[in-house]
């Protein structure tokens, strides 16, 4: 079983914190849709022995596409690949694209899961992040979307500096405001929430705004508190934290993301999209013009990296620790060998002593205390070839 990821590299405007690949010029949109369809055809042999379980439209902003283009791309997947009877087909959508008509239109396609980029229900946060939607649109689209889709995920960002105050007075988002955001999300009865701390990437507008003192720097302690509040509130409301930043009601875990985390094969189509086949990883060029040129010349614009055994071990530890499935010591021994298992057992001891991780039934997992520190713990368990 495999998945197909389709990257739509266009957005209405650039969110201040974003370092994904996208263009705000729509000039080449139609050309791009045709090129993506062509890449789907060009790569069909890569998955000829596989069945497709999930199709995911990400970006950028895939909800920017008209329904006809979304349908066209889904049809291209069906024409070129073997798709299971009830695949999970997700589209990432922004509230400003989700008018009543659009939601109804999407519900009449094969799309059966919406992942909505809400980020915050507060107007000042949305403005500070330069999101294209407002708070009213965020709430309105959820009211309507829940009438047409059962399977909805929404994104929320925590650890946001409070933009209602500027310069030296700038504060961090209060716990009360964060709690209100979660409560509002819960009030719509959606079954899945993804939530990430605001991170400051080097080449973003957010970084510049912080450097020039216009916005306060997000603080780790605040993010950690918000994370603890998030976990507690969502668990109390019946959500399972199946990955560090992903919470789903039973039967509503994202099949697409779970497949990544369980190491299944997938291909990524479109500029900047990544592909993985357990032994190698490849990524398309992050440039719309170069991508279009290559596809028009019948070339795949990608670079390929063959994963060494150490790369695969490190990746498994990193991803495993973030998920509910943990890191199987049995798998470490079988797939990577005794040397890796001995190394892991030695490195992990200090974290066990500090009650940050535990081993149950031969599975290594983070404890409640260690969860927020997962990425740091994982990097300490990485094997380094000297």
Q: Which residues are at the interface with ligand SF4 (CB under 6 A)? A: 11, 14-15, 18, 20, 22, 59-61, 94, 117
DSSP character at residue 334: I
CA dihedral 92, 230, 172, 198 (to 10 degrees): -30
Residue 53 or 69: which CB sits closer to ligand SF4? 69
Asked if residues 54 and 88 have their Cβ atoms less than 8 Å apart, the reply is yes
Rounded Cα gap, residues 138 and 131, in angstroms: 11
**Which of 181, 198, 199 minimizes the C-alpha distance to 142?**
181
Asked if residues 191 and 137 have their Cβ atoms less than 8 Å apart, the reply is no
Rounded Cα gap, residues 5 and 152, in angstroms: 18
The CB-side HSE value for 214 (13 A sphere, CA atoms) comes to: 9
For 228, residues 6+ apart whose C-beta sits below 8 A from its C-beta are: 372
Residue 33 or 356: which CB sits closer to ligand SF4? 33
Cβ at position 15, least distance to ligand SF4 in Å: 3
Cβ at position 85, least distance to ligand SF4 in Å: 31
**Which of 109, 130, 124 minimizes the C-alpha distance to 57?**
109
Cβ at position 267, least distance to ligand SF4 in Å: 20
How many residues are listed for the chain in this entry?
A: 386
**Which of 230, 124, 147 minimizes the C-alpha distance to 185?**
230
Residue 59 or 191: which CB sits closer to ligand SF4? 59
Residue 61 or 275: which CB sits closer to ligand SF4? 61
Residue 7 or 43: which CB sits closer to ligand SF4? 7
Cβ at position 122, least distance to ligand SF4 in Å: 17
Residue 286 or 310: which CB sits closer to ligand SF4? 286
Residue 206 or 292: which CB sits closer to ligand SF4? 206
Cβ at position 92, least distance to ligand SF4 in Å: 8
- 3-state helix, strand, coil split of the chain in percent (to 5) is 45, 25, 35
Asked if residues 91 and 114 have their Cβ atoms less than 8 Å apart, the reply is yes
Rounded Cα gap, residues 35 and 10, in angstroms: 14
**Can you tell me which residue has the tokens 């799309």?**
111
Residue 18 or 67: which CB sits closer to ligand SF4? 18
The CB-side HSE value for 3 (13 A sphere, CA atoms) comes to: 29
Cβ at position 132, least distance to ligand SF4 in Å: 7
Residue 15 or 294: which CB sits closer to ligand SF4? 15
Cβ at position 5, least distance to ligand SF4 in Å: 14
Cβ at position 11, least distance to ligand SF4 in Å: 3
Cβ at position 112, least distance to ligand SF4 in Å: 22
Residues in a beta bridge with 51: 82
């Amino acid at each position: 079983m495999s998945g197909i990821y389709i990257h739509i590299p266009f957005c209405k405007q650039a969110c201040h914190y974003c370092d994904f690949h996208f263009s705000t010029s729509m000039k080449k949109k139609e050309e791009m849709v045709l090129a993506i369809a062509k890449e789907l055809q060009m790569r069909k042999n890569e998955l000829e022995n596989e069945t497709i379980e999930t199709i995911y439209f990400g970006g950028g902003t895939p909800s920017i596409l008209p329904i006809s283009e979304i349908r066209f791309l889904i049809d291209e997947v069906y024409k070129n690949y073997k798709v299971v009877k009830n695949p999970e087909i997700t589209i990432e959508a922004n509230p400003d694209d989700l008018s009543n008509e659009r939601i109804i239109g999407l519900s009449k396609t094969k799309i059966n899961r919406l992942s909505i980029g809400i980020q915050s229900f507060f107007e000042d946060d949305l403005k500070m992040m330069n999101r294209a939607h407002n708070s009213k649109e965020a709430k309105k689209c959820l009211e309507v979307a829940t009438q047409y889709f059962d399977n909805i995920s929404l994104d929320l960002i925590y650890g946001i500096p409070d933009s209602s105050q500027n310069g030296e007075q700038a504060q961090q988002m209060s716990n009360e405001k964060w709690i209100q955001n979660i409560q509002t999300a819960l009030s719509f009865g959606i079954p899945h929430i993804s939530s990430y701390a605001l991170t400051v990437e080097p080449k973003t507008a957010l970084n510049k705004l912080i450097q020039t003192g216009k916005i306060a720097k997000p603080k780790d302690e605040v993010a950690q508190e918000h994370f603890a509040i998030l976990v507690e509130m969502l668990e109390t409301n019946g959500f399972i934290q199946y990955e560090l930043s992903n919470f789903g009601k039973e039967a509503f875990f994202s099949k697409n993301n779970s497949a990544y985390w369980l190491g299944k094969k997938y291909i990524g189509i479109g500029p900047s999209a990544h592909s993985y086949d357990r032994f190698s990883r490849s990524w398309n060029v992050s440039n719309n013009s170069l991508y279009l040129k290559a596809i028009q010349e019948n070339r795949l614009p990608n670079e390929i990296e063959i994963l060494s055994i150490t790369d695969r071990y490190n990746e498994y530890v990193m991803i495993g620790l973030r998920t509910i499935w943990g890191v199987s010591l049995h798998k470490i021994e079988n797939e990577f060998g005794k040397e890796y298992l001995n190394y892991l057992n030695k490195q992990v001891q200090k974290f066990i002593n500090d009650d940050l991780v535990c081993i149950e039934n031969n599975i290594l997992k983070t404890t409640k205390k260690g969860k927020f520190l997962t990425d740091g713990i994982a990097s300490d368990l990485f094997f380094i070839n000297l």
